[in-house]
Amino acid sequence: MKKLKFSLIGCGRISANHIKALIDNSNMAELISVCDLIKDKAEQRADEYINQAKEKNISLKRPKIFIDYKKMLQEEDIDVCSICTESGYHAEIALNCLTQKKHILIEKPMAMSLPDADMIIREAEKNNVKLSVCYQNRFNPTIQKLRQAIEEGRFGKIIAITARILWNRNKDYYDQAKWRGTWKLDGGCLMNQCTHSIDLLQWMTGDEIETVFGQTGNYLHPYNETEDYGSIIVRFKSRAIGNIEGTVCVYPKNLEETLTIIGEKGTAVIGGLALNKIKVWNFEDQEESLEEVQQKYNSEIPNVYGKGHTPLYNNFIDSIKDDTIPLIDGYEGKKSLDIVLMAYKSQKYSRVIYRNEGLNISTENFKGMF
């Protein structure tokens, strides 16, 4: 099969991981164009792409530079668009790409409301193209191993899953990009930093949500509109309970990101900078020791973004090539968005939110909440 032609829309911080993932998958993909409103940023990513290719002795062309993605869609023969702009612009850009019949890979969160997420899913189906959302931690070897243990029934009945994201983000971080901490373009720490762990928590149960109760607040970031601390209790249909504690207030620096599963016949804790290390691995059928699984599945990562974009691109490329469903399609991508919006609604109305209430709500509805 011919290489898939990718374009990158938005050349900020996370786009560096997309460049690396494209280089790592260069046997199946090539980056033909990059676009950012700020031309220098697009130039920088194009340089990185070509430099990384040279370092690996891969022969690739320098991607073309654009500052207008609609012009790029018209002029270039693109198969896949990777959307890496501020979260609040994802939906509009995604819909424009989909109507041009491009496959799309969207950074998390896929949209700021469920109706927008549903519109993206519908438009992808209508145009017969694939869609995937960047919850790259699902591909961590530790997380894959955990999921396998669940699928094999090794935990027995699952009682609770707890995600703790105890991080620090200070004023310098928010000053770097003014969209962060706004309701229109970002949401708070639950929507931005914690969304990966929330996705993993719900994926591990594979279960439908019945209720969500959320308590959130802004304690230390008065220059932001959104929450810097949130606690969520999710009740699943199986009666399992999900606990989420997420914050960017931890003094003086990042403390931990952990996922803990308490089951009838097993207990596991995954931790590390971004859920890349197994900390506890106790099962009734102790097939392997903690040391053995640590040796096999723990990995080192360069930063909190981890190394998951490379296998995520690989999975998405395969899904296009083989006409299969990618691991994180639109339906999967919207589940953590749903939980966070329900938690925001719960905080706003001080009550439990039921799954079947229908959530015709976007982050912008929470303006002025704190």
Ligand X SMILES: NC(=O)c1ccc[n+]([C@@H]2O[C@H](COP(=O)([O-])OP(=O)(O)OC[C@H]3O[C@@H](n4cnc5c(N)ncnc54)[C@H](O)[C@@H]3O)[C@@H](O)[C@H]2O)c1
Which residues lie near ligand X (CB under 6 A)?
Answer: 9-15, 35-38, 41, 69, 84-87, 89, 107-108, 134, 136, 177, 192, 305
Q: How far is the CB of 156 from ligand X (least distance, A)?
A: 32
Residue with tokens 């971004």: 274
**Closest approach of ligand X to the CB of residue 195, in Å:** 8
DSSP E strand stretches across the chain: 4-9, 29-35, 64-66, 80-83, 103-106, 131-133, 158-166, 209-217, 229-236, 241-247, 256-263, 266-271, 277-283, 353-354
Say if CB 339 and CB 345 are below 8 A apart: no
- CB-CB contact of 330 with 131 (8 Å): yes
Residue, CB closest to ligand X: 12
The minimum distance between CB 139 and ligand X, in angstroms, equals: 11
* Shorter beta-carbon distance to ligand X: residue 155 or 182: 182
Min CB(143)–ligand X separation in Å: 14
- The minimum distance between CB 279 and ligand X, in angstroms, equals 21
Indicate the residue among 149 and 274 with the shorter CB distance to ligand X. Answer: 274
Burial of 12 from C-beta contacts in 10 A (0-12 / 13-18 / 19+): middle
Nearer to ligand X, 35 or 149 (CB): 35
The residue (of 188 and 214) whose beta carbon lies closer to ligand X is 188
Q: Write the secondary structure of 299-348 as one string of H (helix), E (strand) and C (coil).
A: CCCCCCCCCCHHHHHHHHHHHHHHCCCCCCCHHHHHHHHHHHHHHHHHHH
Beta-carbon count within 10 A of 101 CB: 13
For residue 106, is it left (φ>0), alpha (ψ between -120 and 50) or beta?
A: beta
DSSP per-residue letters across 169-210: --HHHHHH-TTTT-TTTT--TTTTTSHHHHHHHHHHHT--EE
* Of 73 and 158, CB closest to ligand X: 73
Which of 7, 347 has the CB closer to ligand X? 7
58 or 177: CB nearest ligand X: 177
The DSSP code for 298 is -
**Least spacing, CB of residue 14 vs ligand X, in Å:** 4
Residue 136's nearest CA partner among 21, 248, 28 is: 21
User: Beta strand 266-271 with 256-263: parallel, antiparallel or unpaired?
Assistant: antiparallel
Place of tokens 């996705």: 199
Joined tokens for residue 219: 């304690």
Q: How far is the CB of 67 from ligand X (least distance, A)?
A: 7
CB-nearer residue toward ligand X: 107 or 116: 107
Q: How far is the CB of 97 from ligand X (least distance, A)?
A: 11
